[in-house]
Amino acid sequence: MYYYDPKNRESKELAPGINAKTFWGEKMLTAVVDLDPNVHLPRHSHPHEQLGIVIEGEIEFDIAGEVKKLKPGQVYVIPGGVEHEARTFDQPVRVLDVFSPVREEYKY
Which residue number, 28 or 39, has a Cβ lying nearer to a copy of itself? 28
> What does R_g of the chain's alpha carbons equal in angstroms?
13
Q: Which of residues 40-99 bind a copy of itself (CB under 8 A)?
A: 49, 51, 53, 55, 61, 63-64, 66, 68, 70, 73-80, 82, 96, 98
For residues 85 and 64, give the distance between their C-alpha atoms in angstroms, rounded to a whole number: 9
Contact 15, 44 (CB under 8 A): no
What's the one-letter identity of residue 93? Answer: V
- Contact positions vs a copy of itself (CB under 8 A): 2-7, 23-28, 30, 32, 49, 51, 53, 55, 61, 63-64, 66, 68, 70, 73-80, 82, 96, 98, 100-101
